[in-house]
Amino acid sequence: MSLMSALTLLAASFITIPSYNGVIHIGDSIVFISVVVLGRKKGAISSALGMFLFDILHGYTYWAPFTLIIKGIMALIAGYLWEKGESKSIIQGGVAFSMSGLFMILAYFLSGALIKLLFSGKAITFTQALIVSSYDIFGNVLQVVVGIIIAMPIIKGIEAYRKS
């Protein structure tokens, strides 16, 4: 679990592209790999801790508590859907990881609005906070899609190794 937390932190730190409220990174690929390698519970804990540490170490401290919860639940969803699928195919993995990614996108959208509302230092309405938070939706979609594209061949390799 510690190794997967460290890999999550490293992957998120490796390539970061600034977005409006945060960054886009490839750490989600390790979130998906973690739940396949460790199972949903241990994968969720390691993913949440790795991403939490990323936020703390890279100056996104406002986001850290949200990330801890969001990435943990994201991994639980991904792991649950992966474990319940029978085929373990690329399509089944893509669906499982996409569903967890949709949760992440919505959760970060709402969390971003809450952070803007509470910590912007300006008098803004919740609607205005939602509008500002919506600027990161495309980046979060891109992050999930790239995470799936990176994770699936690695997961298929792990699955093939386990069968041999």
| pLDDT given for residue 90 in this prediction | 87
Residue 43 to residue 21: CA distance in whole angstroms:
26
pTM of the model: 0.94
Q: Looking at 15-19, 22-26, 47-51, 83-87, which range is the least confident one?
A: 83-87
**Does residue 158 have a pLDDT over 90?**
yes
Interval 36-71: pLDDT, tens: 999 999 999 999 999 999 999 999 999 999 999 999
Interval 95-114: pLDDT, tens: 999 999 999 999 999 999 99
| pLDDT given for residue 87 in this prediction | 78
Closest CA to 27 of 59, 57, 60, 4: 4
- Count Cβ atoms within 10 A of the Cβ of residue 61 and give its class: 0-12 exposed, 13-18 middle, 19 or more buried: exposed
Residue 103 to residue 100: CA distance in whole angstroms:
5
| pLDDT given for residue 86 in this prediction | 80
Q: Name the one residue in this structure whose structure tokens are 């960054």.
A: 23
More confident residue, 122 or 65: 65
Instruction: Give the orientation angle of helix 90-119 with respect to helix 126-134, to 10 degrees.
Output: 140
Chain center to CA of 132: 20
Residue 159 to residue 82: CA distance in whole angstroms:
12
What mean pLDDT, rounded, does the chain reach? 95
For the domain covering 2-163, report its CATH number.
1.10.1760.20
Residue-range domain boundaries for the chain: 2-163
The residues, any chain, with a CB within 8 Å of residue 153's CB and separated by 6 or more, are none
